[in-house]
Amino acid sequence: MSLPFQPEILWSDALLFVLLAAVSAFVLHVRRHEHLCVPWLRVAQSRIGMAAAVILAVYAAIGVLDSLHFRPALPAEAGQPLRYGNEVRSVLDVVAEPLRTRVEKTYSEPFALHLYAKENLTLADGRQVRDYPRLKHGGAHLADERERAGDIARRAIVGGLWGAGLAFGLWLLLGLSQVRRGRGVATATARMLHAQEWAAWRTALIALSLLLVLGGVLVQLAGHYHILGTDKVGQDVFYLSLKSIRTGLLIGTLTTLIMLPFALFLGVAAGYYGGRVDDLIQYVYTTLNSIPGVLLIAAAVLVAQVYIETHAELFDTAAARSDLRLVFLCAILGVTSWTGLARLLRGETLKLRELEYIQAARAFGVTHLRILSRHILPNVGHLVLITVVIDFSGLVLAEAVLSYVGVGVDPAMASWGNMINGARLELAREPMVWWQLAAAFLFMFVLVLSANLFADSVREAFDPRAEQR
Amino acid sequence: MLAYIVRRILYAIPILIGVNLLTFALFFVVNTPDDMARIHLGAKHVTPEAIERWKTEHGYDKPLFFNTAAQGVAKVGDTLFVDKSLKLFAFSFGQADDGRDIAREIGSRMWPSLAIALPTFLVGLLAYIGFALVMVFFRASYLDFAGVVLCVVLMSISGLFYIIGGQFLLGKLWHLVPVSGFEPGWAGLKFLLLPVLVGVVSGLGDSSRFYRTLFLEEIHKDYVRTARAKGLSERVVLFRHVLGNAMIPILTGAVVVIPRLFLGSLIVESFFGIPGLGSYTIDAIQAQDFAIVRAMVFLGSVLYILGLLLTDLSYTVVDPRVRLE
Amino acid sequence: MTSGLLLRDLRVEIAAGDRRLMPVDGVSLEIGPHECVALLGESGCGKSLTALALMRLLPDGLAITGGEARLDGTDLFALPERAMQTVRGGRLAMVFQEPMLSLNPVLTVARQIAEALAVHRGMRGGAAKAEIERLLLAVGLPAELAASYPFQLSGGQRQRALIATMLAGEPRFLIADEPTTALDVTVQAQILRLLKQLQAERGMGLLLITHDLDVARDMADRVAIMYAGEVVEWAARDVLYGRPFHPYTQKLFSVLPSTQRRGERLDHIPGSVPPLGTAFSGCRFQERCPQVWARCQQEAPGLYELQAGHRVRCHLAVEDRPGVAQAKPSIVAGATADRAPLLQVRGLALHFPIRRGLFRRSVGAVKAVDGVSLELRAGETLALVGESGCGKSTLARGILRLIEPTAGSVRLGDEEVGRLSGEALRKKRAEMQIVFQDPFASLNPRMRVGEVLEEGLQALRPEVGKAERKERVARLLEQVGLDASAALRYPHAFSGGQRQRIAIARALAVAPKLLICDEPTSALDVSVQAQILNLLKDLQREHGLAYLFISHNLAVVAYLAHRVAVMYRGRIVEEGEAASVMARPLHPYTRLLLASAPGQGLPRDAVFSERFAQVGCPFAPRCGEAKPICAERNPALGEWQDRRVACHLYG
């Protein structure tokens, strides 16, 4: 049995799946312990937090779709065994196939019908003129260029209605599930629309509905126009922005996944055992901290780059190459960022160690390992969580800066940093090529803002000091 | 006090050795001089002879730790480790790939860096504290809420956009300041305005919000209630009592970065074309000039440790409770 | 009346979502110009909030929603904030509970006083300097302390400095919110004396907020008892202490431990203070009242005037309760102690090195515990008494080997604890357990109560199977008076007293012979303290437990202990039978401790010093009977009559 494609699991995919598994296990664990649910229920009470969570979920969904990789089969030749190409695609590429394949020659503005650069054109009557040529794909369906505004409006409305319909269906479904639970239609409606305890869920639903409407509009338009223009080599900027989501998310999450075990283990060990162990661990993190972060990352990435370039034979696809660089970048970001959390955990453990319930456990002769796992770890969990969500947005922003410096992700990989870097060189052009910057700005800003807002509500829900105020 | 300082300086030595070993491992063991030569020569010109020539030119033609060809002390002295790593302790940084002396370059380039970084630091500190104080003075009102929202929004924008946006608006659109460039002396003031402004604004969200939290933490303490019970006005309570105490973590937290101001900002300097250490570093990274990167790593560590020492000392100045023992 | 401080129908509300919580609900008080009124109640009854409301200094989120406060005729709640600022620290001043936290740490004492002088009396420069010195002398502080920072002062000195700050505005009324709760008993006596003396000299009114019946008895002219946000009884001191009327007031008196109640079970108030936000119908005390009847549930009692100046919020004031009188407290048979000692401590020392200089060499040591010897028999209670910092908790941890001792030996049963290691030590740990002071820090918030109780069994008795463990947990919970279903809940669901019961059950789980109780009731309200003390007595009788009971509360010690050891600066200075030591203390320090205990009138002027000597007897600088030899040689603990005492006066 031969599939028309061969699944390909890149390193970062594998790590992402590990992360997803860990998150799912964590969710299950929380659900089984009511006291662990309490702070999460507080998060669920926060309207801003829930709206931010919806947006983050949409980003995450796109990121996951873009992480299911495969290599499509090459066109079958008779008598030959099926062979697979060298190009790695993702499910997102399949969904957004038209976006990926409809490549123009070079820059074009959003919704443009013409290229941004003049070319020598041969008119129907054979004359040569120098003018802006029509795009191959963007708005190619229009016979008359003056129809553009009307066409855009029409498609936007149709798409919006589609989205609204979906959203309405969602509300209806939720309402029905309420009715099914034995509530009357009137009470179910009233609950969903007015009840105080539904406030945050309502906000989340409204946010989701708005996103559905927006999604409908985008789907309708993106199929026929380059809604965010095209870049230097004519790729659709909207498509690139979507592809960048995975890069941003991975940097933000995998770094944490890699650094967390170190920070947790070393921080807690330093605080709990004290003495020589503490001295050694403190020495290690003071040393790492003393190296300017960007320089350490730069040095490590340069070294990795040299390694990759001198060992090209190890990678059978370009995707695998740039992927390894991404994973390596996450690792080195992890090395530079674990010290903060470790220091925090060390301090907290020092405090906990003196607490009476730990003294009581020691009076029972409970082993160190058990004290660590049952008394210390569960009581520093909230700190870890708060740090992880707060760090996320910082890491997404760091990616852009590092790519700009030239030590970020592979230049061939879609990322917001690379988009900005590419656009920066064109800023001096008249008129300006602004859409790449705008797209990167918009996608990053929405993600980071949502992450910050979500982090705020998580911190408020989990910080014991916030509870007292 | 003196004993404390001496001990801290002694403690710095193992840290610098650690930094040194780490960078040495990164640049010479994981990634051999042969690899470096290959990268610099480019794929087309790689021949064993070319590699050897490149290594000789740049002083990489010695063994790592032990030189069997040399005599006596030179067996361990005439090695890459001593040449490239230990000499850093004497601030002898050697030559860049383009043949220039790195130490001299650093000496001349740190002043432009400082011209940007110092005003950014000072103006920033004042602006952040001021903004945080305003929010705290109007705490739990809509003004406070709007301030916090503004901070979160500002935090969510990449620093790159502040630079690009600033250059576009102030430089290109309104022609208020030059888009980029540098000139030493007072004549160069106009070049400094934009980078400083951008630097201050890009830190506004993060820092002000943090300072606001510090102030709020302080404002809920018992001694503040005592101050109110004495009949002091809210203004005096806020400025004399709350500010006085909250300034301790703020100032000591800020002191740690002061020595590193010499290193400048990579991004700002490169965008604004300022011939400082930041742009020097970024150029070195992009040109893969490992000698410069190594020098900057070492310098950065030294300055960081200096910052830690200054932090401890500053505690004794601003906090009567701290006596260094 | 236009003169005096008058509070009528004060209501304080907390905005908590859509619920309205009322921690203070209709409180009325009056304080004459030269009078001291005590506002007395257990934690959470709203007494501190009442005081803060008078100052208009309520924390964010709380607001005054009703009532009226008049200070010599001025309506305080109607004043604009600016005018209120001249009242605060001027005509009306307030002293707070935590002297450690109530002064600004980065300003000198002089500056903090000068601020108040500048605001209220316009004094600056030389005049202010002179006035600061005068104020410091008035509160018993030497003038040279003016230039000190708060961290350089002891707790008692800080409280004096705070009082000086508040006197700067020459207030007509002073509110003192638990001014001595955080202080040691000897210092408490001095501060209370100071307050009383200042009140008389300056003709101030004093509103004293306290939870301590004895403190109120020493200080107040009139007393108001608060319960759940209401004043339940209001009377002149002698009336209230002579003939308390409200069942709650009566109970407060009857739950107090004392020498006279030795051998008796303490009376107790069932349950605990109702949490904030409880919806009341009828009387707020009905759940815990021994004399409750139908009317209490249906109708909230008003504040009835029993006789002139004696008001009570209880239906008993206007109607006799149908039914019988309550039973007398039962007598507990005294536990009999064995002869053979269970615990033998010999010359135990715990020193912590002080490191200084370039290479952190050890240049000396803090001798937290400096050669302590004591014995304890099965079924016996030995109380370890001393003020904070005397090393009593460190000693406990040293005996358990939670901290490794520097020298000395600890024998439990017939084995030397110090020599054990590994498995043998773990086994030994089952025989000695500890109950801590803070019920909130002593249980892991992330573990169910059942898991907490099983932990010791799992570690020390791994052979016990799972089913048996569960069964034992249920039995333990029952033993300490909790429902078996508690095993499935988390600690946050329990009150302080209940948590302390769980902590006791945890220690009992491994069937120890020795239980060290480190101030087990000092964080609890008196009504709950009685429950815990009764429980400890019952358990001792049933299991023949030996208690090493660490406390600073002499009344509790007098009630519970068979023998007492008094500690001062890491050494035992006196040890003997509890009854005899309490009745006839020998060591000057023991005498000072006993004389300082509140409830017996304010002490005569004691030598005020918190200093201690490095050479000779550490107590000498505070001792009224010190001889030349006391400054030279530290006396050893020697036998004298029926006890051991370390003092040159004896032997």
Q: What is the pLDDT of residues C628-650, one digit of tens each?
A: 888 888 898 988 888 999 999 98
Whether the predicted pLDDT of C565 surpasses 70: yes
Spatial CA neighbour of A176 closest among A165, A164, A193, A189 = A189
Indicate the SS3 state at residue B109.
helix
For A405, nearest residue in chain B (alpha carbons): B282
Min Cα–Cα distance to chain C from B123, Å: 26
Any chains having at least 3 CB pairs less than 8 A from chain B are A, C
What's the pLDDT at A119? 81
Residue A246 domain flag:
yes
The per-residue pLDDT for range B171-185, each reduced to its tens digit, is 888 888 888 888 887
Q: pLDDT by residue for chain B (325 residues), tens digit each?
A: 788 888 888 888 899 989 888 888 887 777 777 777 777 777 666 788 888 887 787 777 777 777 777 777 777 777 777 777 777 777 777 787 777 888 899 999 999 999 999 999 999 999 999 999 999 999 888 999 999 999 999 999 998 899 988 988 888 888 888 888 888 878 788 899 999 999 999 999 999 999 999 999 999 899 999 999 999 999 999 999 999 899 899 988 899 899 989 888 888 898 888 999 999 998 888 887 888 888 898 999 999 999 999 998 888 888 888 876 5
Q: Determine, for residues C105 and B321 on separate chains, whether the beta-carbon distance falls below 8 Å.
A: yes
Answer whether B164 sits within 8 Å of A427, measured CB to CB: yes
- Closest approach of C52 to chain B, Cα-based (Å): 9
Look at residue A140 and tell me if it is in a domain: no
- Average pLDDT, integer, range C163-184: 92
Q: Which residues of B touch C359 (CB under 8 A)?
A: 7
The residues with which C174 forms a beta bridge, in sequence order, are: C93, C206
The interface predicted TM-score of the complex, written ipTM, equals: 0.87
Could you confirm whether domain C343-541 is CATH 3.40.50.620?
no
In the DSSP assignment, the letter for residue C332 is: P
pLDDT 10s digits, B8-32: 888 888 999 898 888 888 877 777 7
Q: Is the Cβ pair B158, A287 closer than 8 Å?
A: no
How deeply is C630 buried, as exposed, middle or buried, from its count of CB atoms within 10 A (0-12, 13-18, 19+)?
buried
The SS3 call for residue C388 is: coil
With beta carbons under 8 A apart, name residues in chain B contacting A407. 285
Least CB–CB distance from A356: residue in C441, C446, C456: C441
Q: Order of strands across the sheet with C222-227?
A: C92-95, C173-177, C205-210, C36-40, C222-227, C230-236, C310-312, C304-307
Contact C149 B321 (CB under 8 A): yes
Give residue for tokens 């605001």: C119
Nearest to B156 among A290, A448, A469 (CB): A448
Cα angle value A43/A49/A51 (rounded, 5°): 130
pLDDT-based confidence at residue C575 (cuts at 50, 70, 90): very high
Q: Say if CB C391 and CB C567 are below 8 A apart.
A: yes
> Are C105 and B223 inside 8 Å of each other by CB?
yes
The answer to whether residue A102 is domain-embedded is no
Chain B residue with the nearest C-alpha to that of C87? B231
Q: Which residue among B18, B288, B308 sits closest to A287, beta carbon to beta carbon?
A: B18
Q: What is the mean pLDDT of residues C176-186?
A: 89
pLDDT at site C118: 94
User: Coil, strand or helix: which one is C179?
Assistant: coil
What does the pLDDT look like over C258-315, one tens digit per residue? 888 887 888 888 877 887 777 888 899 998 888 888 889 888 999 999 888 899 999 9
Write out chain B residues lying below 8 Å of A397, CB-based: 158-159
- Candidate from A287, A298, A437 with C-beta closest to B293: A298
pLDDT of residue A75: 76
Q: What number is the average pLDDT over the span C27-45?
A: 92
* Contact check, Cβ <8 Å, A196/C18: yes
pLDDT of residue C603: 67
In a domain, A414, yes or no: yes
The secondary structure element, H or E, covering residue C433 is: strand C432-435
Assess if residue A320 is contained within a domain. Answer: yes
Write out the residue range of the structural domain in which residue A305 sits.
239-468
pLDDT of residue B147: 94
pLDDT for C323 equals 60
Q: Does any domain span residue A224?
A: no
Chain A residues whose beta carbon lies within 8 Å of the beta carbon of residue C511: none
**C5-91+171-317 and C343-541 in the same fold:** yes
Best mutation target among A303, A305, A444 (most B Cβ atoms within 10 Å) is A303
Number of domains within chain A:
1
The confidence score (pLDDT) of residue A365 equals 86
Buried b / exposed e along C73-84 (16+ C-beta atoms within 10 A): eeebbebeeeeb
- Closest-approach residue (CA) in chain C for B243: C106
DSSP C273: P
CA–CA dist C468, C119 (Å, integer): 70
Residue linked to tokens 């002149």? C236
Question: Which residue from B227, B231, B245 is facing C169, i.e. has the nearest CB?
Answer: B231
The predicted-structure confidence for C45-65, as pLDDT tens digits, reads as follows 899 999 999 999 998 888 999
Sheet holding C361-377, edge to edge: C361-377, C341-356, C407-412, C415-416
The chain A residue lying nearest C434, using CA atoms, is: A360
d(CA C543, CA C526): 26
pLDDT for the residue numbered B1: 73
Determine whether B184 is exposed, middle or buried from the number of CB atoms within 10 Å of its CB (0-12, 13-18, 19+).
Answer: exposed
Which amino acid would we find at residue B197? Answer: L
Q: Is the pLDDT of residue C396 over 90?
A: yes
CATH superfamily entry for domain C5-91+171-317: P-loop containing nucleotide triphosphate hydrolases (3.40.50.300)
Domain harbouring A379, CATH code: 1.10.3720.10
Which H or E run includes C371? strand C361-377
Q: What is the pLDDT of residue C17?
A: 65
Chain A residue whose CA is closest to C432: A363
Which residues of chain B are within 8 Å of residue A442 when distances are taken between CB atoms?
none
* A192 lies in some domain: no
Q: What is the pLDDT of residues C339-376, one digit of tens each?
A: 778 999 999 999 988 877 666 677 778 888 988 999 99
Distance, in angstroms, between C443 CA and closest chain A CA? Answer: 5
Interface test with C, best of B218, B230, B248 (most C CBs within 10 A): B230
- Token pair, residue B44, equals 């087309």
Q: Does C358 touch chain B (CB under 8 A)?
A: yes
Residue A20: predicted pLDDT: 93
pLDDT exceeds cutoff 50 at C72: yes
Nearest chain C residue to B240 by CA distance is C107
CB nearest C104 (choices: B140, B223, B325): B223
- Asked whether the predicted pLDDT for residue C166 surpasses 90, the reply is yes
In this prediction, residue A469 carries a pLDDT of 35
Distance from CA of B35 to the nearest CA of A (A): 7
pLDDT of residue B325: 56
- In chain A, which residues have pLDDT < 70? 1-2, 464-469
Yes or no, beta carbons of B152 and A289 under 8 Å apart: no
The verdict on residue A265 lying in a domain is yes
Domain-wise residue ranges, chain C: 5-91+171-317, 101-169, 343-541, 574-651
- A400 vs B26: CB contact, 8 Å cut-off? no
Structure confidence at residue A135 (pLDDT): 83
Model pLDDT, residue A467: 43
Q: What is the pTM of this model?
A: 0.88
- Smallest CA-to-CA distance from B34 within B54, B6, B11, B15 is with B54
Tell whether the torsion through CA atoms of A225, A231, A233 and A235 is positive or negative: negative
- DSSP letter, residue A135: P
* CB contact (8 A) between residue B245 and residue C86: no
